[in-house]
Structure 1
Amino acid sequence: MTRPRFPVPMPTRDGVSPSCVSLPHGPWPTIADFLVERFPAISREAWLSRIEANDVCDEHGVPITATRRYESPLRVYYYRALDAETPIPFEELVLHQDDDLVVVDKPPFVPVTPTGKYVQQSLLVRLKRKLGLDDLVPLHRIDRNTSGLVLFSVRPETRGLYQAMFPERRIDKHYEAVVPWHEGVSSVPAVYRSRLVDDDHFMRMREAPGEPNSETRIVLREARDGHALLELSPVTGRKHQLRVHCQALGLPIVNDPFYPTLQPAGNDDFDRPLQLLARSLSFVDPLNGALRTFESPRRLALPSAPAAAAA
């Protein structure tokens, strides 16, 4: 059953759509009382300040007042209060834009969608501000640390046709990665499969015994001076799949802050980006049957061997 798409009664502000919460049945005297209890990280004073500024309204666009009685069911919309964000000093590049699709080359360190401390610096919000497209939605995601291609849907009317390509595996995705290369290693498996499950730490994945649920095709492109350039083609789309598969082969991707060792959060080193690039995407367009191929202008390079010391 298709979920109905309700009109949002508040406009996008600085590229960020309003958040929404549905009011369940409950004993709260006022809507403000519910909001304070539902979001304990936000003080009552902060909620009252937002309400006074008309930054909270119901699904009909009627502003919520501090004394409005609780009503259920009802959807309430509100703007998040945004803390100052540290700018990420890399810019995205729009490679293609038409009535239905936007194709973007994402820099490293930028999350695709707002998450945690990243809102204005997320790729989605950046693009909404830059392109003026409030209905823009990512069709898939790549990790914050990964650079390369991301597809966005422009129109809700055609979004489902493009979204279906991913679970139905009708889109070819190719990545590149730089990994350490050990003396005596001469090849990589053409295909690597394993079972991936959540790790004890919520940010990571790990391999486990059992029926494989992930598959990656691997091609060795170049190897020299202690590093190699791999082409990685994920057949499945599990979280961190490429990073875990490389780690399992003893070839952890260069500058990976998660594998083999999880680095402390908030320690981004902009001079050491993860050497993983979503290089190309190709698919048959579900609207017109045309073959469409997009390629990132970025390139990964093997590190140069250190110069020999002078005698």
Structure 2
Amino acid sequence: MSTTSVPAQSILNVAAYKFVALSDLPDLRATLLAALKSLGLKGTILLSPEGINLFLAGEPDAVRAMIDRLHSFPEFADLEFKESLSDHQPFNRALVRLKREIIAFGVDGIAPAHRTSPKLPAQQLREWLDQGREVTLLDVRNDYEVALGTFENATPIGVDHFRDFPDAVAKLPEEAKDRPLVMFCTGGIRCEKAGPLMQREGFKEVYQLEGGILKYFEEVGGAHYQGDCFVFDQRVAVDPNLEETDTELCYACQATLTLEEQQSPHYVPSVSCPHCYKPEDQQIVDQCQKRNRAILAATDPLPGSTPQDNIRPICVSEKCDGLALIDLLDRAHPHVGRDVWQARCDAGLLRLEGEPVDGQQIVAAGQRYQHVIPAEIEPDVNPAIEILYEDAAIVVANKPAPLPMHPSGRFNRNTLTSILKTVYHPEQLRIAHRLDANTSGVVVLSRSKAAARQIQPQFESGKVKKTYLARVHGHPTKDSFECNAAISAVPTQAGLRTIDEAGQASATRFEVLKRLDDGTTLLQVTPLTGRTNQIRVHLWHLGFPIVGDPAYLTDGKLGETQTLAVDAPTMCLHAWKLQFSPAGNDETVEMTAPQPAWAN
């Protein structure tokens, strides 16, 4: 071991590894961790059945005491350490971890404790290089390490991770197998596994640099080496004198940064550097793609495809105050049937504050009962939600159809908000407006209460400009027309709104985009008010019902279906564009969802 000391550098850094069969790893871990803490040392010790790998730093006396402690174990009696000095502690904490391998490789049959390639001492390598001996120098480190420095005329293996080494070896030229080859890495541990693999692949004369680059620096210096050596601690790199350099590491992309690169405006520690910086627009695109991959994972299989109790709320209004529960249920949902409701009460499926209640219990205004549907599997939906945009305040999505916006009735987990709750956890996204389950298109959600206070009032007051696409039955005679028929404030028994002279004032503007040969027409639709089902009701009233609408049918008829089955023909209504102000001021943005196939 080196005994060189530099007074200004008071922290001793040591590295060591050994391939040796180990057992009772949990007990060994506890013993070594206690020793590290008692000596005030920091760093990492990796233990596995195949051996030990460590990087430690601290006061020199404490480090040497730890070395003595390790040497007291028979398995580590001959453990060799590489040393260097620094003026600060390069590690944040003390860790002892149990791993499957002390250096990840993933190749069966490679056991350095039993067989490895011959080791070439640093002095001998220098002599070979001084003599100009014909030899292949193979750098088995990752590309970002090689970028900081390597031996003159060395061949980098060309990997981003050591587990890719076997594939990289297979790509080396066949003639390289007949030439003497010296491989090297930082401290030698990777070569312990790389050497036997290369011998197994037919390389005839393979050596590994004993102790790696760090041992070479310690014994030889920088002869025949260009640059610095990457190290896996906060020093980032050391020069041939084993002194820390000005190099920094970008923790976002793992690129090494020169002092000049650290002056770049694109270098923000832990965020970006000149190598990985992306303009804001590209960052948004990348983040949306990441969210869309998460949505795909969260919806395969559909979350509602596994049985789960569905709890539906039943709220007592003023007009139902004093009724028996069974009368309330029969009045609110007559299509279910009084006998069915009574059977559900008898089965304990109607509850108040979690406790079963009798059907004859008298209800009071303001109470909230729970209707439990046990082990329910929800109907299938189209889960292909696409995140179009997101920033710190809002999320903009392209909602597919059929897909309910939020839990209601038969749908709980198979809804837009439930799926996005999983993807954005622990955030609680807030929908700023609603679309029918059968309507596709652009949806805005707020990421905070503050954002919701800016955005939701714009939808409620009608300040948001909405543009829809609709494909309807029939050919309107005019290219532009408007409907101002009032719409009922109260839904029918089937939950539908209809035209009602005494209803809510409503206005929708229509423009013909194309009259199609199949007798349908593509319209651009601008709702000037925001009533429930407004576009569908107005088109139905005008005699141009939307293609695929299960509720507002041709010939002025009404259907009984609300949410379409996932395999049913699409309802051709699409929320195409929204124009609003994210900050609630005069600056507006327009969010656009891609046009569906039926609109093209």
Same fold per TM (> 0.5)? yes
The 5-angstrom pairing of residues 1-311 of structure 1 reads: 83-182=376-475, 185-197=476-488, 198=490, 200-210=492-502, 213-225=505-517, 226-260=519-553, 261-265=557-561, 268=565, 270-286=567-583, 289-301=586-598
Secondary structure, in 3 states, of the residue corresponding to 1:248? helix
Bigger mean CA deviation after superposition, 127-136 or 276-285? 127-136
How has the CA–CA distance of structure 1 residues 20 and 89 changed in structure 2, closer, same or farther, with 3 Å as cutoff? closer
Bigger mean CA deviation after superposition, 235-244 or 268-277? 268-277
Structure 1 equivalent of residue 81 of structure 2 = none
Secondary structure, in 3 states, of the residue corresponding to 1:277? strand
Secondary structure, in 3 states, of the residue corresponding to 1:165? helix
Shift of the alpha carbon at 1:169?
A: 1.9
How many angstroms apart in 1 are the aligned matches of 2:460 and 2:414?
28
How has the CA–CA distance of structure 1 residues 187 and 148 changed in structure 2, closer, same or farther, with 3 Å as cutoff? same
Tell me the alpha carbon deviations over residues 172-219 of structure 1, each in whole angstroms, 9 at most, x when there is no partner.
11000001224xx43155321011113543411111225860001111
Tell me the alpha carbon deviations over residues 125-162 of structure 1, each in whole angstroms, 9 at most, x when there is no partner.
01101221442121110111111111111111331221
Return the letter of the residue paired with 1:224. Answer: L
Secondary structure, in 3 states, of the residue corresponding to 2:598? coil
How has the CA–CA distance of structure 1 residues 140 and 158 changed in structure 2, closer, same or farther, with 3 Å as cutoff? same
How many angstroms apart in 1 are the aligned matches of 2:535 and 2:500?
16
The answer to which structure has the higher helix fraction is: 2
Structure 2 equivalent of residue 307 of structure 1 = none
8 A Cα contact 2:381 2:566, kept in partner: no
Return the letter of the residue paired with 2:484. Answer: R
Secondary structure, in 3 states, of the residue corresponding to 2:569? coil
How has the CA–CA distance of structure 1 residues 44 and 186 changed in structure 2, closer, same or farther, with 3 Å as cutoff? closer
How many angstroms apart in 1 are the aligned matches of 2:552 and 2:404?
19
Tell me the alpha carbon deviations over residues 260-301 of structure 1, each in whole angstroms, 9 at most, x when there is no partner.
244344762524010000001011233565321111113353
Bigger mean CA deviation after superposition, 235-244 or 290-299? 290-299
Larger Rg: 2
Tell me the alpha carbon deviations over residues 67-98 of structure 1, each in whole angstroms, 9 at most, x when there is no partner.
xxxxxxxx99x997662223324411111122
How many angstroms apart in 1 are the aligned matches of 2:313 and 2:537?
35
Secondary structure, in 3 states, of the residue corresponding to 1:247? helix
| Unpaired runs of at least 5, structure 1 | 1-13, 23-37, 51-55, 58-63, 65-74, 304-311
8 A Cα contact 1:133 1:154, kept in partner: no
Between the two proteins, what is the percent identity of the paired residues?
A: 25
Return the letter of the residue paired with 2:402. Answer: F
How many angstroms apart in 1 are the aligned matches of 2:503 and 2:551?
24
How many angstroms apart in 2 are the aligned matches of 1:116 and 1:21?
11
How many angstroms apart in 2 are the aligned matches of 1:133 and 1:147?
26
How many angstroms apart in 2 are the aligned matches of 1:150 and 1:128?
15
How many angstroms apart in 1 are the aligned matches of 2:314 and 2:497?
30
How has the CA–CA distance of structure 1 residues 190 and 45 changed in structure 2, closer, same or farther, with 3 Å as cutoff? closer
How has the CA–CA distance of structure 1 residues 21 and 300 changed in structure 2, closer, same or farther, with 3 Å as cutoff? closer
How many angstroms apart in 1 are the aligned matches of 2:567 and 2:535?
22
How has the CA–CA distance of structure 1 residues 94 and 79 changed in structure 2, closer, same or farther, with 3 Å as cutoff? farther
**Greater relative contact order: 1 or 2 (C-alpha under 8 angstroms, separation 6 or more)?**
1
How many angstroms apart in 1 are the aligned matches of 2:407 and 2:511?
34
Return the letter of the residue paired with 2:487. Answer: L
8 A Cα contact 2:380 2:414, kept in partner: yes
How many angstroms apart in 2 are the aligned matches of 1:200 and 1:44?
30
8 A Cα contact 1:256 1:274, kept in partner: yes
Shift of the alpha carbon at 1:118?
A: 0.4
How has the CA–CA distance of structure 1 residues 170 and 302 changed in structure 2, closer, same or farther, with 3 Å as cutoff? closer
How has the CA–CA distance of structure 1 residues 45 and 134 changed in structure 2, closer, same or farther, with 3 Å as cutoff? farther
Q: When the two structures are superposed, what TM-score results if normalisation uses the length of structure 2?
A: 0.38
Q: When the two structures are superposed, what TM-score results if normalisation uses the length of structure 1?
A: 0.69
**What is the RMSD of the two structures over their aligned residues, measured on CA atoms?**
4.0
How has the CA–CA distance of structure 1 residues 135 and 284 changed in structure 2, closer, same or farther, with 3 Å as cutoff? same
Tell me the alpha carbon deviations over residues 27-79 of structure 1, each in whole angstroms, 9 at most, x when there is no partner.
xxxxxxxxxxx9988769868xx9xxxxx89xxxxxx9xxxxxxxxxx99x99
8 A Cα contact 1:190 1:217, kept in partner: yes
8 A Cα contact 1:192 1:217, kept in partner: yes
How many angstroms apart in 2 are the aligned matches of 1:283 and 1:117?
33
8 A Cα contact 1:193 1:212, kept in partner: no
How has the CA–CA distance of structure 1 residues 205 and 86 changed in structure 2, closer, same or farther, with 3 Å as cutoff? closer
Tell me the alpha carbon deviations over residues 196-251 of structure 1, each in whole angstroms, 9 at most, x when there is no partner.
11354341111122586000111111112111100111110101100011111111
| Unpaired runs of at least 5, structure 2 | 1-302, 305-310, 316-327, 330-340, 356-366
